[in-house]
Amino acid sequence: MSRISKRLGAVRNEHKKAFVAFITAGDPSLDRTVEAALAFDDAGVDVLELGVPFSDPLADGPVIQRASDRALRAGTRLVDVLEAVRRIRARCDLPLLLFSYFNPLLRYGLDALARDAIAAGADGVLVTDLPPEEADGWIAVARGAGLDTVFLAAPTSPDERLRKVAAASRGFVYAVSRTGVTGERDAISGEALPLVRRIQALTAEPVVLGFGLSTPEQVKAAAEVADGVVVGSALVRFLEEHPHGDVAGQVRWLKSAM
Q: Which of 27, 60, 116, 205 is catalytic?
A: 60
52-69 core/surface letters (b: 16 or more CB in 10 A; e: else): bbbeebebbbebbbbbbb
- Annotated catalytic, 49? yes
DSSP-based three-state secondary structure for 77:
coil
Q: Which of 27, 41, 46, 49 is catalytic?
A: 49
Strands ordered across the beta sheet of 124-127: 148-150, 124-127, 96-100, 47-51, 18-24, 228-231, 207-210, 173-176, 152-153
CA angle at 74 for the pair 71 and 76, rounded to the nearest 5°: 60
Cα 158 to Cα 113, 153, 165, 198, 204: the distances in Å are 31, 10, 11, 10, 19
Catalytic residues: 49, 60
